[in-house]
Amino acid sequence: MRILVVGANGQIGSKLVKMLKEDDRYTPVAMVRKEEQSEKFQSEGIEAVLADLEGPVGDLENAVKGNDAIIFAAGSGGSTGLDKTLLIDLDGAVKVMEAAENSNVNRFILVSALQAHNRENWNEELRPYYVAKHYADKMLEASSLDYTIVRPGGLLNEPGTGTIQLGLNLERGSIPREDVARTLLEVISAENSYRTAFDLISGEVEIEKAIKEI
């Protein structure tokens, strides 16, 4: 399976691309917006495509065509303004969904945020970010795609533990980015996760087992 990773140069995306490359089931395709990022992946033997989430849907269709699944792990980042939160985390995600539907790429995995579906539990300091995630999630749920929405808690740059907790309404918690990437990897072919959404934090259940029990 060819797996397009949108946001492949990000912290979760870059870990995921490496995991995909090491897995015999998958061939990663890194979607990036800068030539130097593309060259970096290609130097590592990883296919890369150039596309801009702020560009037209037609350009994104060219990037997604020929792939078997899409993992949207892009984000505007904490150092940008609210305009980029809207343009990347919301509109960018929705445009990739449209491109996927138009290109018959039915498997779509979206990285969201813990409790994005529940307004009462949003982090007040990140409210605009949660608004973007909330409505991107809703647009995906209303699509025809075989989606899975993964809503991780606070992201850590610690080594992964390989164990997680997932569920519909988890208390606030954190999780290493490595474990988020590993969860995304395990979800790709898990048909029991189609058209589902779940919160994700560190826990005591092995990732593969937790995904099987969704």
What's this model's pTM, rounded to 2 decimal places? 0.96
Please tell me the predicted confidence (pLDDT) of residue 34.
94
Size of the chain in residues: 214
Q: pLDDT for 166-191, tens place per residue?
A: 999 999 999 999 999 999 999 999 99
* Among 26, 129, 130, 147, the one annotated catalytic: 129
Identify each DSSP E strand in 60-160 by its residue range. Answer: 69-72, 107-111, 146-152, 154-156
Instruction: Let me know: does 38 contact 48? Beta carbons within 8 Å.
Output: yes
Q: How far apart are CA 46 and CA 44, in angstroms?
A: 6
Please tell me the predicted confidence (pLDDT) of residue 121.
87
Q: Tell me the longest C-alpha to C-alpha distance in the chain.
A: 46
Q: pLDDT for 108-127, tens place per residue?
A: 999 999 999 999 988 888 88
Please tell me the predicted confidence (pLDDT) of residue 79.
62
Q: How far apart are CA 214 and CA 196, in angstroms?
A: 9
For residue 78, pLDDT over 70 is answered with no
Q: pLDDT for 122-153, tens place per residue?
A: 888 888 899 999 999 999 999 999 999 999 99
Q: How far apart are CA 212 and CA 30, in angstroms?
A: 27
- Told to judge if 26 belongs to the known catalytic residues of this protein, a careful annotator would answer no
Which residue has 């989606």 as its token pair? 147
For residue 209, pLDDT over 70 is answered with yes
